[in-house]
Amino acid sequence: MTDQPASPTRRSHLRTPRQRTGIRWAAALAVSTIALTGCGSDTTTTGSGSSDPSDPTFQLGDFVVTLDRPSIPSGKVTINARNDGGEDHELVIVRADAVSDLPTKADGSVDEDKIAEADRRGEIEDVRADQTKSGTFELEPGTYVAFCNLVDEMGSGMMGGGQTPSTMMGGGTGTGHVHFALGMHQLLTVT
């Protein structure tokens, strides 16, 4: 009876970094099929549950990033990303002297393609609400920016009803939360 088309494009965004944001709630609710076909490829980090709280920890919120200490020692360092917010977040670390040095797109998100390979230090992807994930980074002394670059296609509408997942891949014209532009960045000093 429902005439919603089973949007065939929905599957394609599972592995597309800039699109994975919008589906989180719908994903939790509506994706029996997606989950079955798309699982098993999350390779980013060491996962949750085994993080050591004494390691440097970034707290991710809606929409803020904070670090639990003034600086991080250089070398190979394990970092936690703890999501205290209600939305999914991520933590990207790049070498930069200032937040304003990062290249941005028209929507205000960071244009990661324009960041030199040498300045990228990696990221902890897909940190869900109430989850802590860890990642190991090789950091030489200097200044970095840690940020979340997720963009919600649906914005806050997702928290309310969210029962029409087909709409979110349909238009794609409206942009919701641009996490970076909303303040999800933190200058990081490595000593």
Reading across the β-sheet that carries 75-83, which strands appear in turn?
64-67, 57-61, 75-83, 132-139
72 makes contact with Cu ion (CB under 5 A): no
Residue 177 interacting with Cu ion (CB under 5 A): no
Q: Is 81 in the site for Cu ion (CB under 5 A)?
A: no
Q: Report 144-173 residues binding Cu ion (CB under 5 A).
A: 148, 150
Q: In the complex with Cu ion, which residue's Cβ is closer, 26 or 125?
A: 125
DSSP 9: G
Task: State how far the Cα of 157 lies from the Cα of 21, in Å rounded to an integer.
Answer: 13
Q: What is the DSSP string of 20-34?
A: TTTTHHHHHHH-HHH
At CA 45, angle to CA 10 and CA 113, rounded to 5?
Answer: 60
The answer to whether 82 contacts Cu ion (rule: CB under 5 A) is no
Nearest-approach distance from CB 61 to Cu ion, in angstroms: 9
State which of residues 89, 95, 121, 133 lies at the interface with Cu ion (CB under 5 A): 89
User: Of the two residues 95 and 179, which places its CB atom closer to Cu ion in the complex?
Assistant: 179
| Distance in Å, CB of 107 to Cu ion, minimum | 14
In the complex, the smallest distance separating the C-beta of residue 102 from Cu ion, rounded to whole angstroms, is: 15
Cβ neighbours for 43, distance < 8 A, ≥ 6 positions apart: none
Pick the binder of Cu ion from 153, 179, 186, 188 (CB under 5 A).
179
The least distance separating Cu ion from the CB of residue 65, rounded to whole angstroms, comes to 8
What is the Cβ-side half-sphere exposure of residue 110, based on CA atoms within 13 angstroms? 27
Q: How many residues bind Cu ion (CB under 5 A)?
A: 5
Residues 148 and 184 sit within 8 Å (Cβ to Cβ):
yes
Supply angle C-alpha 113, 116, 122, rounded to 5.
80
By C-beta, is 133 or 179 nearer to Cu ion? 179
Q: Which two tokens stand for residue 133?
A: 């994930």
Shortest distance, position 120 Cβ to Cu ion, whole Å: 18
Binding site for Cu ion (CB under 5 A): 89, 148, 150, 179, 184
